[in-house]
């Protein structure tokens, strides 16, 4: 197979300063270091072959965007070698390369010229770009008046209509609406059929699973593993909860990452009669994770310490979408599962097991312990939006959940 991108032992180090004046002082007297080194990437090897669609996944700060910027020449590595064989079109940051005072048409020509195209070549592609962007008369307005959605439409339209051999995309599609995202992924499939190479970073594990031939997992600047989508997504799920076990294929210097799916700014309140703790999600294999494959069983678990006698505590969970709409949830009263009194000093562990029938996407999980005292509803402890759940799906239907219809056409 022909390699179109080869990165060997790529390291990127940034110097961090406590205050701006330290940078100036160090420049004057280099012998006295006033900075600390931050390794965004450490000895990363990456080979991309012609015609592949390769995804790069990892938690925030893992080095995903940094490696893409080095490949495209936006950044230079501190150490290592990079070679690219083919015309690259990159969509790295929203509006990158756009002049905010120019209108859409002027920015199309500006971007095309920066990519090495002549005016005649851009003229020939202009209508295709406008048709794909589909932002109407706004294309004649200054880009500073555009919404983020208009930006990404125009930027992506330019990127994919200049006939690139290698397309690189970094999370930019996340701001487009669902119809535009569908159009973009359809274009990905066209590109794959044409033998073009696609490299993209995404937190959307559904898209990673559906479109990628191969996936690379980065964590804290190290390449932990690469392979087929299912294998690497499973490894990523372990990284999210700090349970990733390194093997002989992985760099010994890589550090396990604690879960970043617990919300540090969660909302909690209650009268203190109970305390929710040790909350987590497990998949069908009993592995703690925040990524669940649609259609498979999973279990929500949390423990509750009781700081007072309570006649009939109600244990509950709720799932919301990222816009805050409550999608589903239940409690032990609805399920007629626990109607007993508890005593001060007791601890109860509650599990809710069900199939994941939500559509692919991101959701937020909340917990509660409540009850009734003399006909008054009382909140003992609530934790809102405490855990992020990622639902991985290769088939989404209409609305919030899948009815799992059995279809027959005669």
Q: pLDDT digits over 120-144, tens only? A: 989 999 999 999 888 999 999 998 8
Q: Where are the beta strands (DSSP E) in 294-360?
A: 297-306, 314-321, 326-331, 347-355
Average pLDDT over residues 236-243: 71
In a domain, residue 123? The reply is no
* Among 36-45, 130-139, 189-198, 203-212, the least confident range: 203-212
218 and 291 in a single domain? The answer is no
* Closest of 3, 343, 363, 368 to residue 166, by C-alpha: 3
373 and 293 in a single domain? The answer is yes
CB atoms within 10 A of CB 51: 17
Q: Which residue has the higher pLDDT, 162 or 232?
A: 232
Residue 42 CB-density burial (10 A; 0-12 exposed, 13-18 middle, 19+ buried)? buried
In a domain, residue 323? The reply is yes
Average pLDDT over residues 279-287: 92
- Indicate whether this model's pTM tops 0.85: no
Of the pLDDT bands very low, low, confident and very high (cuts 50, 70, 90), residue 111 is confident
Distance from C-alpha of 90 to C-alpha of 110, rounded to nearest angstrom: 15
76 and 211 in a single domain? The answer is yes
In a domain, residue 313? The reply is yes
Written as six digits, the tokens of 299 are: 């279990």
The residue segments making up the domain with residue 296 are: 267-392
Written as six digits, the tokens of 221 are: 């600047």
Average pLDDT over residues 192-201: 89
Average pLDDT over residues 141-154: 85
Of the pLDDT bands very low, low, confident and very high (cuts 50, 70, 90), residue 94 is low
User: What is the reported pLDDT for 252?
Assistant: 36
278 and 338 in a single domain? The answer is yes
Provide the domain count of the chain.
2
Distance from C-alpha of 75 to C-alpha of 377, rounded to nearest angstrom: 58
In a domain, residue 231? The reply is yes
Q: pLDDT digits over 332-350, tens only? A: 999 999 989 999 999 999 9
User: What is the reported pLDDT for 323?
Assistant: 75
Q: Could you say which DSSP state residue 313 is in?
A: -
Contact criterion met (CB below 8 Å) for 92 and 69: yes
Per-residue b or e along 92-120, where b marks 16 or more CB atoms closer than 10 Å to that residue's CB: bebbeebeeeebbebbbbbbbeebebeee
233 and 340 in a single domain? The answer is no
From 190, 221, 240, the end of a domain falls on: 240
Distance from C-alpha of 208 to C-alpha of 227, rounded to nearest angstrom: 12
User: What is the reported pLDDT for 151?
Assistant: 82
Average pLDDT over residues 149-163: 82
User: Which phi and psi angles does 152 have, rounded to 5°?
Assistant: -70, -35
Q: pLDDT digits over 291-327, tens only? A: 898 999 999 999 999 999 999 999 999 999 887 888 9
Q: pLDDT digits over 253-274, tens only? A: 333 333 445 677 778 889 999 9
288 and 325 in a single domain? The answer is yes
In a domain, residue 151? The reply is no
In a domain, residue 367? The reply is yes
Written as six digits, the tokens of 115 are: 């990519």
In a domain, residue 198? The reply is yes
318 and 187 in a single domain? The answer is no
At 294, which CATH number?
2.70.50.60
User: What is the reported pLDDT for 54?
Assistant: 95
In a domain, residue 9? The reply is yes
Integer CA distances (angstroms), 83 to 46, 57, 88, in order: 11, 22, 12
At 10, which CATH number?
3.40.50.300
229 and 372 in a single domain? The answer is no
Average pLDDT over residues 81-105: 81
73 and 201 in a single domain? The answer is yes
In the predicted model, is pLDDT for residue 250 greater than 50?
no
Distance from C-alpha of 44 to C-alpha of 63, rounded to nearest angstrom: 10
User: What is the reported pLDDT for 248?
Assistant: 37
- Sign (positive or negative) of CA dihedral 328, 333, 337, 340: positive
User: What is the reported pLDDT for 366?
Assistant: 94
How far is residue 350 CA from its own chain's centroid? 29
Q: Which residue has the higher pLDDT, 307 or 204?
A: 307
76 and 21 in a single domain? The answer is yes
229 and 307 in a single domain? The answer is no
| Beta-strand pair 166-170/88-91 | parallel
Written as six digits, the tokens of 43 are: 């000895």
SS3 249: coil
Average pLDDT over residues 12-18: 87
Q: Could you say which DSSP state residue 114 is in?
A: H
296 and 370 in a single domain? The answer is yes
């Amino acid at each position: 197979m022909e390699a179109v991108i080869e990165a060997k032992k790529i390291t990127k180090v940034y110097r961090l300063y406590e205050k701006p004046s330290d940078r100036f002082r160090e420049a004057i007297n280099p012998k006295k270091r006033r900075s600390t080194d931050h390794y965004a990437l450490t000895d990363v090897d990456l080979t991309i072959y012609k015609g592949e669609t390769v995804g790069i996944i990892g938690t925030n700060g893992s080095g995903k965007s940094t490696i893409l910027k080095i490949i495209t020449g936006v950044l230079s590595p501190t150490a290592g070698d990079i070679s690219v064989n083919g015309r690259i079109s990159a969509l790295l940051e929203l509006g990158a390369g756009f002049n905010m005072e120019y209108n859409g048409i002027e920015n199309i020509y500006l971007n095309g010229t920066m990519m090495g195209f002549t005016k005649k070549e851009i003229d020939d592609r202009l209508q295709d770009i406008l048709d794909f962007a589909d932002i109407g008369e706004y294309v004649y307005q200054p880009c500073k008046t555009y919404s983020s959605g208009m930006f990404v439409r125009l930027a992506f339209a330019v990127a994919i209509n200049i006939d690139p051999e290698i397309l690189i995309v970094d999370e930019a599609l996340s701001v487009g609406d669902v119809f535009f995202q569908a159009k973009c992924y359809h274009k990905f499939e066209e590109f794959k059929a044409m033998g073009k190479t696609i490299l993209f970073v995404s937190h959307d594990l559904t898209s990673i699973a559906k479109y990628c031939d191969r996936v690379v997992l980065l964590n804290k600047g190290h390449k932990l593993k690469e392979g087929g989508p299912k294998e690497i997504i499973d490894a990523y799920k372990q990284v999210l909860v700090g349970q990733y076990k390194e093997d002989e294929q992985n760099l010994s210097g890589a550090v396990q990452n604690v879960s970043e799916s617990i919300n540090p700014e969660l909302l909690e309140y209650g009268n203190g009669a109970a305390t929710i703790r040790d909350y987590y999600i497990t998949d069908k294999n009993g592995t703690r994770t925040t990524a669940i494959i649609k259609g498979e069983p999973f279990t929500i678990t949390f423990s509750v310490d009781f700081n007072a006698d309570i006649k009939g505590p109600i244990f509950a969970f709720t799932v919301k979408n990222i816009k805050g709409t409550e999608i589903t949830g239940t409690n032990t009263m609805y399920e007629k599962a626990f109607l007993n009194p508890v005593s001060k000093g007791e601890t109860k562990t509650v599990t809710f097991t069900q199939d994941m029938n939500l559509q692919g996407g991101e959701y937020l999980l909340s917990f509660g312990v409540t009850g009734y005292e003399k006909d008054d509803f009382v909140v003992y402890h609530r934790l809102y939006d405490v855990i992020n759940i990622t639902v991985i799906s290769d088939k989404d239907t209409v609305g919030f959940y899948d009815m799992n219809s059995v279809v027959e056409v005669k």
